A = this chain, B = another copy of it.
Amino acid sequence: MQVLHALIIALLTWLVATACPMRLRWSMYFGAPLVSGLINGLLLGDLSYGLQCGATVMMAYIGLVAIGGSLPSDLSLAGYLGVYMTMAAHADPSVGITIAVPLGFLGILCSNAKMALNPIWVHRADRYAAEGNDRGVVAMNLFASQIVPFITYFIPAFLCVLFGAPFLEMLLGVVPQQVISILKLIGAMVPALGLAMLMNMMNKRSTIPFFLIGFVLAAYLKLDIIALAILGVAYGILHLLYTRKRGEGNV
């Protein structure tokens, strides 16, 4: 029974982190703790407790954004494994965050390992493509890509669930508090990379002023994303109108 549970959680952690169809993955990923609360609640036979735990941990991540592939924290580990560990310890839902958050930071390592090693398969795919071997390309994309994540996500999650709190404590014990602080700082810094990559990709110099306007509106006047998006639509249309070539006539 415990093995089955371990299998389910480990599979979810791994699949949602990297393997399952992108679209499903996204909802299951950005809402990982919430979903985990439901699933673990069902598996452990205490649905209401599960939902509580899941919702509570979820709140800490409601504003998380993954931009340009930069994760400030790994939600899959934090969600699926974190919420399970909380419930296994019969801890108060509010304690869930203290368990999930360090796991999320450790997850940054797993995610980056994948991002760093996957180019191996890309280079193979280059070769297959040159040969016109589309099956090879697909195989690299779908299967080879899962080797690293399986090791970094599935295995630890499986062992944690199987051997329970002692194993997790051992795992976290190996990792001193200082490392968690470091990973937390890295998690706070990492979005800068994603955002900078995005900026780098928007290579029109003429739109840089809007970056400054958005920054001031958010930093000084505390406008949120919805307000910025509305203003963005407005300014975007005007920008288009003002920079479009005269010849085409006015709207």
Interface residue ranges, A against B (CB under 8 Å): 204-206, 208-213, 215-216, 220-221, 223, 227, 230-231, 233-235, 237-239, 241-243, 245-246, 250-251
Ranked nearest first, the 10 interchain pairs of A and B with the lowest CB-CB distance are A209-B234, A212-B234, A242-B242, A206-B251, A209-B237, A220-B227, A213-B234, A209-B238, A212-B230, A205-B251
- A233's partner among B209, B223, B233, B242 (CB-CB below 8 A) is B209
CB closest chain-B residue, reference A249:
B245
- Taken together as a complex, chains A and B put the C-alpha atoms of A206 and B210 apart, in Å, by 19
Are B215 and A230 in contact, with the CB atoms below 8 A?
Answer: yes
- Taken together as a complex, chains A and B put the C-alpha atoms of A246 and B249 apart, in Å, by 11
Question: Majority SS of interface residues in chain A?
Answer: helix
Task: Chain B residues near A241: list those with CB within 8 A.
Answer: 206, 242-243
Task: Chain B residues near A239: list those with CB within 8 A.
Answer: 238
Task: Chain B residues near A220: list those with CB within 8 A.
Answer: 223, 227
Are A213 and B231 in contact, with the CB atoms below 8 A?
Answer: yes
Interface centre among A211, A221, A245 (most CB of B within 10 A): A221
Are B210 and A234 in contact, with the CB atoms below 8 A?
Answer: yes
CB closest chain-B residue, reference A246:
B246
CB closest chain-B residue, reference A243:
B250
- Taken together as a complex, chains A and B put the C-alpha atoms of A251 and B208 apart, in Å, by 11
- Taken together as a complex, chains A and B put the C-alpha atoms of A211 and B238 apart, in Å, by 12
- Taken together as a complex, chains A and B put the C-alpha atoms of A177 and B74 apart, in Å, by 57
CB closest chain-B residue, reference A209:
B234
Task: Chain B residues near A238: list those with CB within 8 A.
Answer: 209, 239
- Taken together as a complex, chains A and B put the C-alpha atoms of A220 and B225 apart, in Å, by 12
Task: Chain B residues near A234: list those with CB within 8 A.
Answer: 209-213, 216
Besides A209-B234, A212-B231, 16 other A-B contacts (C-beta < 8 A): A204-B251, A208-B237, A209-B233, A209-B235, A209-B237, A209-B238, A210-B234, A212-B230, A212-B233, A216-B230, A216-B234, A221-B221, A238-B239, A241-B242, A242-B242, A242-B243
